[in-house]
Structure 1
Amino acid sequence: MGFRRWDAGRLYCWAALFVLILLSILLSTAATASAQSGSHSVRGINGSWEAYPPRAAGLGSSESLAGPRPVPLPPPIPDPPLKAEYLAEWKAGQERIAELTRKGLPPISSGMACLPEGMPGMMQATFPMEVLETPGQVTIIQEAFSQVRRIYLDGELPSPEEAEPFFFGHSVGRWEGDTLVVKTVGIKDSVRFRNTPHSPSMRITERIRLVNNDFMENQVTVEDPEYLTKPWTWTWMYKRWPGYKIQEYVCEDNRYFEDPNLGYQRLRVR
């Protein structure tokens, strides 16, 4: 009987050890799969965000422009460092826009034809945006024009020559610590952020991270040796908007405007 009691106790110990080892393996496998897929809930980028400082203060924004700043404001976006042969044309275009603005006329833009902003423009958060982090993918939904961008965490970035041109291009990301590094290629020629031309070889790199629980930073770098003399870099800041639900945005033809001299007019977008 003594031998049997000792043998049963030993079996119990071995069984307990086996269970502990099995649990350890399962937890390790789950952690590895989570890391490989890019899913990491503690990073906390899920939720609704608005541009900071808000672009529409007083028009539904969660914050006014008055009062102290909880985080430093990013510097203004610099002019694109275009090569001389492109810079003159760009400056002339900016002057035309300024002249239309002085006259109270809307400058012609792709938005008048209900076309999406594309990349990188959609990330400036003209309207609030929602970030959804799921295994293997980060999805960004911009309320303006109902734009949807998908960043794949388990894919390979195509070469610019192979990438079919899209409004949002092709985006692949990976986590480097607490920073989501995203590379994008394949932007349509007609997509021109701040009216800036680009070549098919343009690359966009973003470094997205939480500054704290309420603010998120996006460091953007545009590289295009054919058009730019150096990388074009700026930073966008976003403020978390708890509880905000992205609204439906159905863009109708908004090329009609009221001219004080000519009456109701329709712009032609080419």
Structure 2
Amino acid sequence: MAIETTRARPALRALLAAVLLGGAAQAAAQPATPAIEGVWKIAAPTTTLKPVAGAVPFTAEGRKAYEANRKLRAQNKIDDYDITLSRCSNPGVPRLALSPMRFKIWYRQGVVTFDYEWNRALRQINVGVPPQPDLLGQGLVPTATGKSKGHWEGDTLVSVMEGASDRTLIDDLVPHGYDLKVTERYRLLDADTLEDRITIEDPAYFTHPWEAVVTYKRQPDAIFPEDVCLDRITAHKPAFPG
């Protein structure tokens, strides 16, 4: 047993060195304390995610679904196309980027967390934690926020989200399918201005990827009060307060 242990030590040392070097490389690739941490609020409140250039490039299927949503809204059949407004469901990505209320960003242990004042919603972007085995097949079930995997390019946080439920919307009307892919690039324009450059891809609904930009202004650090969206719905008030 002593001989086997002695022979195993070089392999263990090599494995430990690889782990340490990998951690050092990861630490060098990302800021120790990301400048994007803090409390933010959308600079120009809007319910529409507008392309940087031109109109939303719908496919025939995408245009059909969009027009169906417009008709349902005109008929006030909100629950048939927008469960966020009718049931206070999580708006999903990228619609969370249009939240009119504040949100807080912090980075801990390889995970960037977005804590939203609206209904105390949460979103997390994994930038350093190895993927865990999906023994229960949960990855096959779409969720409102999907799964976001990110990395740092200098001080810019790059996030790629996939696996979102098709029950969410891009904004207040634009639909998408199961193949939605959302790439976001968060960076500071100045100390108090945060930019989120969003690229939308879904070959079933859009003829080509399209880009939108949302900016935020830094807010004083504060503890968010309790916010219950369902209370507003019960009181016949908008799910998203202005």
Specify the TM-score bucket, using the shorter chain as the normaliser: 0.7 to 0.9
**Separation in structure 1 between the aligned mates of residue 49 and residue 130 of structure 2, nearest angstrom:** 33
Q: Secondary structure at the match of 1:85?
A: helix
* 8 Å CA contact 2:170, 2:176 repeated in 1: no
1:153 to 124, 127, 130: 127
Give the Å deviation of 1:38: 4.2
Q: Secondary structure at the match of 2:144?
A: coil
1:140 to 114, 119, 134: 114
* 8 Å CA contact 2:112, 2:125 repeated in 1: yes
Stretches of structure 1 that go unaligned for 5 or more consecutive residues are: 1-27, 56-74, 259-270
Larger of the two Rg values belongs to structure: 1
Q: How many residues were matched structurally?
A: 204
**Separation in structure 1 between the aligned mates of residue 44 and residue 236 of structure 2, nearest angstrom:** 29
Taking every aligned residue pair, what percent have the same amino acid on both sides?
A: 29
1:162–1:148 distance in 2 versus 1, CA, 3 Å: closer
TM-score, structure 2 as length reference = 0.72
Alignment pair present for 1:188 and 2:165: yes
1:201–1:86 distance in 2 versus 1, CA, 3 Å: closer
* 8 Å CA contact 2:113, 2:125 repeated in 1: yes
1:230–1:255 distance in 2 versus 1, CA, 3 Å: farther
Give the Å deviation of 1:193: 2.0
Paired amino acid for 2:32: H
Alignment pair present for 1:211 and 2:189: yes
* 8 Å CA contact 1:51, 1:125 repeated in 2: yes
Higher relative contact order (CA closer than 8 Å, sequence separation 6+) = 2
1:232–1:138 distance in 2 versus 1, CA, 3 Å: same
Stretches of structure 2 that go unaligned for 5 or more consecutive residues are: 1-19, 133-137, 238-242
1:226–1:155 distance in 2 versus 1, CA, 3 Å: farther
Give the Å deviation of 1:165: 0.8
Query: Counterpart of 2:218?
Result: 240
TM-score, structure 1 as length reference = 0.65
* 8 Å CA contact 2:144, 2:165 repeated in 1: yes
Query: Counterpart of 2:24?
Result: 32
**Separation in structure 2 between the aligned mates of residue 232 and residue 255 of structure 1, nearest angstrom:** 37
1:112 to 81, 86, 94: 86
The alignment yields a C-alpha RMSD, in angstroms, of 3.2
Give the Å deviation of 1:211: 0.8
**Separation in structure 1 between the aligned mates of residue 72 and residue 175 of structure 2, nearest angstrom:** 16
1:87 to 56, 63, 68: 63
Q: Secondary structure at the match of 1:237?
A: strand
Q: Secondary structure at the match of 1:93?
A: helix
Give the Å deviation of 1:204: 0.6
Deviations 1:115-137 (A, max 9, x none): 11111111223211010111311
